[in-house]
Amino acid sequence: MNAFPHLLRPGRIGSMSLCNRLVMSPMETMHGTPDGLPSQRTRDYFGARAKGGVGLITLGATGIDPKHPETPGCLHLGTDDSVEAHRALVDVVHEHGAKIQP
């Protein structure tokens, strides 16, 4: 008997649909570029989790001020360049059917 019969079924959080109910806790990977943008290593890391079946990925500390990162390699959303870099990360995760949040 399965103790968690709904775990791998689609679910919802508000209006957001998820492919399953597996949620990855925030992970501070420190894989960002020196400028605080998602790197290829960042995309590979989170892409692998999405490919492995996580339905919703939560990034680690993601700042809004690129001049004051929380940790070395920490990501930020504080410049125009960060939008394109984060879009590439989101696209990799979405390729595997998962969602991602900062």
38-97 pLDDT per residue, tens: 999 999 999 999 999 999 999 988 999 888 888 878 899 999 989 999 999 999 999 999
First and final C-alpha spacing in the chain? 36
Residue 84: both structure tokens together? 């394109």
In angstroms, rounded to a whole number, what is the distance separating the alpha carbons of residues 83 and 98?
Answer: 19
Binning pLDDT at 50, 70 and 90, where does residue 1 land? low
Q: Can you give the pLDDT at residue 27?
A: 86
pTM of the model: 0.90
